[in-house]
Amino acid sequence: MGLFDFFSGGGESVTVKELQEILKEKNPKNKFIDVRTKQEFKQGHIDGFINIPLSDLSDTLTRVPKNKTIYLICASGARSASAQRLLQKHDRKAVNIRGGMMAFSRL
């Protein structure tokens, strides 16, 4: 596993530009989760994302459907990569958003 694979969760990832297009599709088979803290989420988030902090994710897996593609974001991509690994272990299709909110804010 290379360094990029480690930080990307070892699975599928998209850029923030690709995320913009995915959000425009409004596909009901997609779910969007922001794994930052509640305080970070309140300071600003992307419309359509729900907040499940990484620290709460393993206790709230029932809120994460198995039949949808889960797009994950955090501040930089590290926590969402951890969330991606956790969800993949529990049979969820999870996609990490590379660069996180820092990259999104530069669009």
pTM of the model: 0.91
Count CA atoms closer than 13 A to 34's CA, side-chain side. 21
Residue with tokens 């994460």: 64
Asked whether residue 107 carries a pLDDT value surpassing 60, the answer given is yes
Higher pLDDT, 72 or 10: 72
Residues 51 and 36: their CA atoms lie apart, in Å, by 7
pLDDT score, position 2: 40
Residues 101 and 13: their CA atoms lie apart, in Å, by 14
Domain-by-domain residue ranges, the chain? 26-105
pLDDT score, position 11: 87
pLDDT score, position 90: 97
Residues 47 and 8: their CA atoms lie apart, in Å, by 23
Per-residue model confidence as pLDDT tens digits over 42-53: 999 999 999 999
pLDDT score, position 10: 66
**Class assignment of domain 26-105?**
alpha beta
